[in-house]
Chains A and B, each alone.
Chain A
Amino acid sequence: MAGTQARDNRYDAALIARLGAGDETAMADLYDRYSGIVYGVALRVLGDTTAAEDVLQEVFLQLWRNPGAFDAERGRLAPWLAVIARNRAIDLLRKRPMEEDIDELPIATSVDLEETANQRLAVEKVRSAMQALPPEQRQALEMAFFEGLTHTEIAGKTGEPLGTIKTRIRSALLALRKTFA
């Protein structure tokens, strides 16, 4: 499995290198592999298909313009793109101009997201793990990630103490981690 992951990461790294050489077919390949993840996050944050499409376009265009922003040695492409999509979508939600540079840090994960079949498996696992969370933990986590709220804002909206919100978010993240341990 580890060997497959390394090979898939290398495949992504090769596609990124081809982007640097102006190879449009590499972009098409990357789009086919990861547009579902990018679009899914943007749609969940924005709740609007047109706006989500704009984020999708922007994320892949930024990758095209600056493929060197992704460092295959330090992280994997799928979670990195997902976090960029989330951040750009939150910018749009908050009516801030979308960042033009990609400065998100690389994300190292052992979860294999490159192959479609593995991607599907991982999605199902995360979904089950989210459903298994106590509702108040899930709510705090979703408000932070998909609504871009700070812990003070979450505490204000839910009427819960700050400390409780903090603990809920950490417990929820650790529960997600356990799913893939």
Chain B
Amino acid sequence: MSDHAQFADALALYAIGSLDNEQERTALEGHLGTCGECRRELERLRSDVALLALSVTGPQPPQRARQRLMNAIAAEQQRAPQTDTPIVVGRLRWRWLNLAPIAVAVALAVFSFGLLLEVQ
């Protein structure tokens, strides 16, 4: 049996996201790394899987769904120009916060050194 034939069924499961055997998946991914033909077949299978989605196209979303989306987008548009400054300020603050543990460590070291001098 060729490698392609050996992995054919597993490849289909992999394309649809249903291959849950860890060992089998690792072996398949190893094979995919070296086999262009199986990589191409995987792409074709993923395209076949996507066709499945079409079989249930039909029901239309309610009209309000379109308006809801457009409202959400308009709201994001309005927020977008204002987000620059606070984000930068936030990042600066975050950077200073990152230094906090170092500052604490330095303070502790100085304190310990002071104690050591006092003991001696």
Contact = CB atoms under 8 A, between A and B. Distances in A.
Interface string B1-17: 00000001111110111
A57 interface: yes
Contact of A43 (B18, B59, B72, B74): B59
B91 interface: no
Contact of B68 (A40, A57, A169, A174): A57
A28 B63 CA distance: 12
Chain B's interface: helix, strand, loop or mixed, by majority?
helix
Most buried by B among A40, A105, A173: A173
B20 A109 contact: no
B31 interface: no
A111 B51 contact: yes
A171 B94 CA distance: 54
The bracket for how many chain B residues form the interface is: 35 or more
Interface in B1-53: 8-13, 15-21, 43-53
Given A111-B51, A123-B58, A176-B52, A150 B19 contact: yes
How big is the A interface, by class? 35 or more
Interface of B: 8-13, 15-21, 43-62, 65-66, 68-70, 72-74, 76-77, 80
Given A109-B50, A145-B16, A149-B18, 14 more contacts: A36-B57, A36-B58, A40-B56, A43-B59, A49-B62, A52-B61, A53-B61, A61-B73, A65-B76, A141-B52, A144-B17, A150-B20, A163-B9, A166-B13
